[in-house]
């Protein structure tokens, strides 16, 4: 019998007000892993009440002391790494080496955010007046709402939770309904590490009801969301009504340029990993391959051989290269885009259909199109599946033009042996991230993560920017002259 999991509010696991539940399904086997309670608006209200009480306690804890708790959490995550990785493969589907990396990323960001507890630097600057001191300090926002996706079910929550905590905020956390167990396990880790009651609260259920209630709640001071562009636009509009801070990371349509002077084998391995790692279900996945015409035929031939050799199956098995898609809806969406690509005139080279590796799950063949044109929907819209489109160009300038022909701007890459080509790509590609001779995926937690154009609204996760995402900057003036001094007033003195 599968276990039923409750909400976590005010330091306790509590039954939801709705009495409704949903099943958490293994996408490879379609077996039920757990039953999860669905929160209602009343539960979100209770979570905010608890978070406000938690904030009054947590925000008064000195940042270095808050950091000590995060260091303990990182140690617990390290101890449970394999257990969490196995659970993630069962719940989300991606292969075990990748889920181990997901947990490691959570460990890394937790340690990094903890390290910021003794930094969190403001600035000092000279005053224009005598006997006056000027500085800035960082202050927490208050209660923040965090809404996370299913593809990195412990790393992305950790990217948001840990900086928010070390900055002194309290949290109402709404994880993706496809991967709630990893969110619950992360909550358990923070409880064991000693987080006071109310500082983090978990409400589970659909985005259309629970997520909406979190976004629209008048006492939540900020929203951090990772997900689709359309949902992000709606969130931004809703938050503007109350001047609520909102941080958005909304996906990508990431290009890899391979020039004729590139290291072929290095580029092939990078494209393979970038396009089909996590079954293409990454916001940083390589979905557009831009090949110089001089190498297009040979590169494509060698790439297809590698793609066809990929082994599809249950991610828990060591021989598996590509696991299932997360859900039936994602499977059908991928199928639909393959049909669209054919209708638009792109040439299907391999894949393009469901496959049965001896399991009933949501398996789809790694798929490659060529003769893709920039205006096609498969070139412009995020598929979030194992589908790669190939473009042909005759110069670096044309390659960059094709790369920039997108409403997104998250990650990008170029393979070249020419340092001039590399620096031109860095300068001219419209993206928040550019890799040189590496795939579009593989962010490190001490650098800012985010994008431009439709990918986001200017905020960045990870790095020191993550602390700023969850902090207000306060300017402080200390006048010790003992007399009234007026700044920016002309004086005869």
- Those residues whose C-beta lies under 8 Å from the C-beta of residue 49, and which sit 6 or more positions away, are 10
Active site residues: 249, 283
* Distance of alpha carbon 224 from alpha carbon 96, whole angstroms: 28
Contact 28, 361 (CB under 8 A): yes
- Beta strand residue intervals within 262-355, DSSP E: 286-292, 347-350
Q: Which residues pair with 147 in a beta bridge?
A: 174, 225
Closest CA to 412 of 381, 437, 387, 446: 437
Joined together, the tokens standing for residue 20 give: 């409704």
Strand 143-147 and strand 170-174: pairing? Answer: parallel
Radius of gyration of the CA atoms of the chain, in A? 24
Query: In the 8-state DSSP scheme, what is residue 23?
Result: E
Name which of 88, 96, 103 is nearest 33 in CA terms. Answer: 88
d(CA 360, CA 31): 10
User: Distance between CA 92 and CA 50 in Å, rounded?
Assistant: 30
Three-state DSSP state, 231: helix
């Amino acid at each position: 019998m599968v276990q039923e999991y409750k909400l976590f509010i005010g330091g306790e696991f509590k039954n939801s007000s709705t009495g409704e539940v949903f099943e958490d399904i293994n996408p490879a086997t379609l077996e039920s892993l757990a039953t999860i309670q669905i929160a209602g608006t009343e539960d979100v209200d209770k979570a905010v009440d608890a978070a406000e009480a938690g904030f009054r306690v947590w925000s008064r804890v000195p940042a270095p002391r808050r950091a000590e708790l995060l260091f303990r959490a990182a140690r617990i995550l390290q101890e449970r790494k394999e257990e969490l990785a196995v659970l993630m493969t069962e719940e989300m589907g991606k292969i075990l080496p990748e889920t181990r990396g997901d947990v490691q990323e959570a460990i890394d960001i937790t340690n990094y955010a903890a390290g910021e507890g003794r930094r969190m630097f403001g600035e000092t600057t000279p005053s224009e007046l005598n006997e006056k001191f000027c500085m800035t300090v960082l202050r927490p926002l208050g209660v923040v709402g965090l809404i996370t996706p299913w593809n990195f079910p412990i790393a992305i929550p950790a990217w948001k939770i840990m900086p928010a905590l070390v900055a002194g905020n309290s949290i109402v956390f709404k994880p993706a309904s496809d991967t709630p167990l990893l969110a619950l396990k992360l909550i358990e880790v923070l409880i064991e590490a000693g987080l006071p009651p109310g500082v983090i609260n978990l409400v589970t259920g659909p985005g259309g009801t629970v997520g909406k209630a979190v976004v629209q709640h008048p006492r939540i001071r900020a929203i951090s969301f990772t997900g689709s562009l359309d949902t992000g636009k709606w969130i931004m509009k809703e938050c503007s009504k109350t001047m609520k801070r909102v941080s958005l990371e909304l996906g990508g349509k990431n290009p890899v340029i391979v020039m004729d002077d590139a290291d072929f084998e290095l580029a092939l391995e990078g494209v393979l990993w970038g396009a089909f790692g996590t079954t293409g279900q990454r916001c940083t996945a390589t979905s557009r391959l831009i090949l110089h015409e001089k190498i297009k035929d040979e590169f494509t031939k060698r790439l297809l051989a590698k793609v066809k050799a990929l082994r599809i199956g249950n991610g828990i098995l060591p021989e598996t290269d590509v696991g299932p898609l997360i859900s039936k809806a994602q499977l059908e969406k991928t199928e639909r885009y393959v049909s669209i690509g054919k209708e638009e005139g792109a040439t299907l080279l391999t894949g393009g259909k469901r496959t049965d590796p001896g399991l009933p799950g949501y398996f789809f063949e790694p798929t490659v199109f060529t003769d893709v044109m920039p205006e096609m929907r498969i070139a412009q819209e995020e598929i979030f599946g194992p589908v790669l489109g190939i473009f042909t160009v005759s110069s670096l300038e044309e390659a960059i033009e094709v790369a920039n022909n997108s409403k997104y701007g998250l990650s990008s890459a170029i393979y070249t042996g020419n340092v001039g080509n590399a620096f031109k790509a860095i300068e001219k590609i419209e993206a928040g991230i550019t890799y040189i001779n590496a795939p579009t995926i593989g962010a490190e937690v001490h650098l800012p993560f985010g994008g431009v154009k439709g990918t986001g609204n200017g905020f960045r996760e990870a790095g020191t920017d993550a602390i700023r995402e969850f902090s207000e900057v306060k300017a402080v003036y200390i006048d010790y002259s003992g007399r009234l001094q007026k700044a920016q007033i002309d004086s005869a003195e």
